[in-house]
Amino acid sequence: MNALPAQAQAIVAAHRAALALPANPDVEAIFSRADPTYRAAKQACLALGFVEIDAECLGLAWQAMTRRMNKFDAQAWPDEPADFGMRPWPRADAFAACPKTLGLYAVLPDAAWVGRMARAGVPTVQLRFKSDDVCAVEREVKAAVEAVRDTNALLFINDHWQAAIDAGAYGVHLGQEDMDVANLAAIRAAGLRLGLSSHGYAEMLRADRLSPSYIAMGAVFPTTLKRMATAPQGLGRLRVYARLMRDYPLVAIGGIDGSKMAQVKSSGVGSVAVVRAITGAPDPEQAAAQLMQQLG
């Protein structure tokens, strides 16, 4: 990357400690407009380790923020939804609402685990059942819905949106790759809540255009559960993501355990998703109770 202009250097200096990840020095900025603030901000964000599509979002937002404030401020960081082109609330096309604070959010592999954690008092549970067998999926989703019926747990079904509709689940959770193939209109018409994954600014803005019930953000810390296209975001980025997406219920996910719970909660998210912190614990019920106490 070429030497940074003065504005870009000022942005990097102001935010390196909180937001920087290792940058790719071979990445050259590709500019979509001539505005000098946009260009400086995009170069700065690339230098801070943001991927190109996120640096583009931030460059445009920084330009909008500078115009709105009528001054350039390197110490500021864009966090006004309007500066990112987000629509105001309320929205007529929004999915059904869920609680602003979803609390501990346990991601679980089968219906037996779902029932076990629902009975343990975990407020939000997700069935992440991996199978290409349609009948097996339908059985597992129905079993999970039955497993939470006499509890207070809110049940989201990962990926299997049609089975979730048919079984009367509380909601569906989709990854970015699933947003183009799922029948979102059918999910909305059925009254199910919709949660969407995101891994940075561009994906958050893409999710926002659908007005989901909540947005998940991660991976916050390194995780071995799945291969991630982006580096772990860290607490500093989680905080600025949460400020921008403050109108949504927010779920932090990725490598979170009890030792990190207080720091994650302080970011402004209202829910923390865990996987192995429960399923890999010697006493999952005790682990869930401790995590809920730490989350508060």
Domain boundaries, the chain: 6-84, 103-295
Q: What is the mean pLDDT of residues 170-196?
A: 97
Q: What global pTM score does this model have?
A: 0.96
Q: Count H helices, E strands: the chain?
A: 12, 8
Asked if pLDDT for residue 1 goes beyond 60, the answer is no
Q: What is the mean pLDDT of residues 168-197?
A: 97
Owner of token pair 């105001």: 88
Topology (CATH level 3) of domain 103-295: TIM Barrel (3.20.20)
pLDDT per residue over 48-96, tens digit each?
Answer: 999 999 999 999 999 999 999 999 999 999 999 999 999 999 999 999 9
pLDDT per residue over 147-182, tens digit each?
Answer: 999 999 999 999 999 999 999 999 999 999 999 999
Owner of token pair 């059918």: 186
What would the two tokens of residue 224 be?
């071995």
How many other C-beta atoms lie within 10 A of the C-beta of residue 193? 22
pLDDT per residue over 100-148, tens digit each?
Answer: 999 999 999 999 999 999 999 999 999 999 999 999 999 999 999 999 9
Angstrom distances, CA of residue 207 to CA of 175, 198, 248, 296 = 10, 7, 11, 28
How many other C-beta atoms lie within 10 A of the C-beta of residue 197? 22
pLDDT at 178: 96
User: Phi and psi at residue 61, in whole multiples of 5°?
Assistant: -65, -40
- pLDDT-based confidence at residue 229 (cuts at 50, 70, 90): low
pLDDT at 227: 63
Among residues 63, 69, 100, the alpha carbon closest in space to that of 85 is found at: 63
Owner of token pair 């946009």: 38
Q: Give CA–CA dist 275/85, Å, rounded.
A: 34
pLDDT at 24: 85
pLDDT per residue over 232-276, tens digit each?
Answer: 999 999 999 999 999 999 999 999 999 999 999 999 999 999 999
Q: What is the mean pLDDT of residues 31-53?
A: 97
pLDDT at 246: 98
